[in-house]
Amino acid sequence: MELSTVAAIMSTPRLLPPQPHRVGAGFHAEGWREPLALLDPFILVDHFRMSEAAFAPHPHAGFSAVTYLFDDSATGLVSRDSLGGEHEILPGGLHWTLAGRGVMHDEFPAEAGCEAHGLQIFVNLPAEQKLRAPTVMRLAAEQMPRRVGPGWQAVQVFGGTAELALPWPTALAIVDVKAGASFDFTLADGERGFAVVIHGRGQAGELPLSAGRALCLPLGGRAVLTADEPLRLACFSGRPLYESIVRHGPFVMSDEGQVVAALQRFQSGGMGRLCPRQHTHV
């Protein structure tokens, strides 16, 4: 279905079912990938748990690969890239890999036998930025702005007043709502958004909220989310790009020609090299 068609028919909040995803015994997630028009400018959101290395070094191009670890994560993640970086993402921290024209990347738990709990987010890049130089941005938990309201508190992970130079207007806030309290999730004019329920139960009008559900709002929409029990939400918002894309594995480009060129860069080493990790890290 065309982006404009899907966007036009959605005028009220709706629930998006998750798609389970598992890689071996060490990675499992509930994710949201479709319909793209309702997620735009996000391409993928996975609520994941990782207990062992599940991915070999792999390329990304044409988008940003973003990892956020919840504050209850039992361990951090080590993130490596072909730019020469090797960083530990601590619980509550954010790691933003703007892949641009291409970069090699991998992540794995910092401690053997411990489970990392977080969000893996793919954010689309505007067509004119898909071939920009790759870069990495990071934020620690203590650098993220906090705000409070009646019965709720929120951490602004990125966007809003968070300290990141984002390539396109997007935002993520982690909101904890006490039982019996409500949170007003309101989008700015021209923005689309959705709230993923991380844990707890509640309701948005007549729509039931429970862990693994995502409440999608229409353009410039609003919903009052009421907690029946302590509720944690990951609230995403952003300005849609309304651009066609071609997805091919780890590449998200504007057309087939860019995908072919990305494959050639990867195969020729133009995205750099990243050797398989040494097991002494975990």
Q: Return binding residues for Fe cation.
A: 58, 60, 105, 107
Question: 63 pairs with which residues across the strands?
Answer: 124
Q: What is the token pair recorded at 135?
A: 């870069």
Is the dihedral angle over the CA atoms 171, 30, 241, 10 positive or is it negative?
A: negative
| The Cα angle at residue 117 between residues 115 and 121, in degrees rounded to 5 | 135
Identity of the amino acid at 95: H
Contact 34, 80 (CB under 8 A): no
Feature table: binding site: 58, 60, 105, 107
Contact 141, 91 (CB under 8 A): yes
Q: What is the token pair recorded at 64?
A: 């940003």
| Order of strands, sheet of 42-50, starting from the edge strand that comes earlier in the sequence | 19-23, 27-32, 42-50, 116-124, 63-69, 94-98, 135-139
**Can you tell me the distance from the alpha carbon of 269 to that of 264, in angstroms, rounded to the nearest whole number?**
8
Kindly state the DSSP code that residue 61 receives in the 8-state scheme.
Answer: B
Contact 241, 200 (CB under 8 A): no
